Amino acid sequence: MLITNVRPWGGPLAEIAVEDGRITAITELKSEVDIAGAVDGRGRLALPAFSDVHCHLDSTRIGLPFRPHTGSPGIWPMVMNDRENWRDAEWTVAERATHTLGRMIAQGTTRVRSYAQIDADCGLERFEGVLAAKETHRDRCEVEVIAFPQAGLLREPGVPELIDEALASGAAVVGGIDPCTLDRDPVRHLDVLFGLADKHQVPVDVHLHEPGELGVFSVDLILERTRALGMTGQVTISHAYALGSVSESTTRRLVEEFAELDVSMATVAPAQNGSLPLTELTAAGVRVGLGQDGQRDYWSPYGNADMLDRTWQLAFTNRFREDELIEHCLAVASRGGASILDRDLPRLASVSDRPGLAVGDQADILLVDGDTPTAAVMDRGRDRTVLHNGRVVAEGCELLDK
């Protein structure tokens, strides 16, 4: 495979050679003459493809008629609203998850970590729907499925056993959620969570919505177990909206411990004050990835399966204006997230680091129109070509046949 007439990260026109799914050479463009079998970039930007490290494919309604929002504030009321409605969707979980994952790929995402809700109500039905979507798109995208107790590990009987079964049946990560405010037994919650992780030798991903000092308390328990069990590099904390709202010294300590234990952070770019600062996390060496969360589901009407759009949101909610910082959001949305899914990939070195398009890198590439990377984020053009493992899988925001 040869990709011609492209501008890697907005630089000079170049050619990218690919063999066995890896980039083997990047050279200055010598001629704009058409080469048989080459992908013509037509002067577009070449960027590393996106990695969505926090989405809920089991709850999406993208592709279905719009419905009024019926949820109430708070995690438990929203869980119950979802429970009351998800079986009435016009498509099955597998159909909805497959459609949304296809839209994500078509718009530039080739790595995904998706939650699959497992509870006393749905059992493994939603988990199996996400596995079906993963199988359908196995040649277009890499998908990790999280066995996720959205309604808590302890509030309803039988949930740990269901999580255990899912981990034996294809789940790659074990999920936890709000040990204090949802399960109200943080020690037992984390004992079960890390016990399952140890049994199946899988990473941990914890949803943390808990506020301020209570969130810090839960994080400290998570860090304590990470250190004691030798799980450095195996833990992700998602959301953690309010960890930046505590004292400066506590925030600094948490960031330093995240870096020491290689605990990664997954953000969905919330419009909220008090989040940990993105630039300081990167400077400290903390892996940070971006995700779209729920997408037009029973929790929220937001979401459109487009990680370029969510990259704009990440820059906007961080109040970034400088090109370097907006491009950093692209790096977080692509290789930042990829480094969470593949711990052999290096962490972003600084806000000026632009990895993902070098000899030896996996050839997961997005070609997109734009004068500069910042312009691409602002304009979010639709002239896109998506490559996974060096093979074109989407053109013009539409999937290609296998």
Tell me if 346 is assigned to some domain. Answer: no
Profile the chain (402 residues) by mean pLDDT over runs of 10 residues.
96 96 94 78 97 98 95 93 95 98 98 98 98 98 98 96 98 98 97 98 97 95 97 96 90 96 96 87 97 96 97 96 98 98 96 97 98 98 97 97 76
Distance from the Cα of residue 267 to its chain's centroid: 8
SS3 state of residue 303: coil
**376 belongs to a structural domain:** yes
Helix, strand, coil % in the chain, rounded to nearest 5: 35, 20, 40
Of 353, 319, 323, 311, nearest in space to 49 by CA: 311
264 and 394 share a domain? no
Q: Are 18 and 42 contained in the same domain?
A: yes
pLDDT at 32: 67
Is residue 348 included in any domain, yes or no?
A: no
Return the amino acid letter for 231.
M
- 255/179 same-domain check: yes
For residues 153 and 252, membership in a common domain is answered with: yes
- The CATH number that applies at residue 35 is 2.30.40.10
* CATH code where residue 267 lies: 3.20.20.140
Nearest of 233, 223, 225 to residue 191 by alpha carbon: 225
Same domain, 202 and 334: yes
Sort residue 42 into left (φ over 0), alpha (ψ -120 to 50) or beta: left
Domain identity same for 225 and 369:
no
**Token pair belonging to 149:** 């107790």
Q: Is residue 292 part of a domain?
A: yes
Residues 16 and 144 placed together within one structural domain of the fold: no
Q: Range of 389's domain?
A: 2-48+355-399
Q: Let me know whether 67 and 169 are in one domain.
A: yes
Domain assignment of residue 311, yes or no: yes
Rg (CA), the chain: 21
Q: How many structural domains does the chain have?
A: 2
Task: Give the Å distances, CA to CA, from 402 to 116, 137, 355, 366, 390.
Answer: 26, 9, 28, 18, 14
